Amino acid sequence: MSTLAKIKEQLTLLELRNSKYVEKKRYELSAINLDDEEALSWLLGEILSYRVQTEKYRKGRRG
């Protein structure tokens, strides 16, 4: 699966929880040259990091 496809998949999974975050990241994605694998990988890393943080927060709140 390409990095771009992974980014789109992660954004879709996050959309239900935080549409403003997803909107911001989709805007950032639109500004990236889709042939720039390094930039795409960086964006994917940011999105995955955000997901991990929100999952830890949600689990902590459920107690």
pLDDT digits (tens, 9 = 90+) for 21-55: 999 999 999 999 999 999 999 999 999 999 999 88
- Going by pLDDT thresholds of 50, 70 and 90, the confidence category of residue 6 is very high
Ranges of H-type helices in 16-62: 19-31, 37-62
Q: Which two tokens stand for residue 62?
A: 């459920």
pTM > 0.95: yes or no: no
Distance CA 46, CA 43 (A): 5
Burial class (CB in 10 A: 0-12, 13-18, 19+), 4: middle
| Cα 52 to Cα 61: distance, rounded to the nearest angstrom | 14
Cβ–Cβ < 8 Å for 29, 7: yes
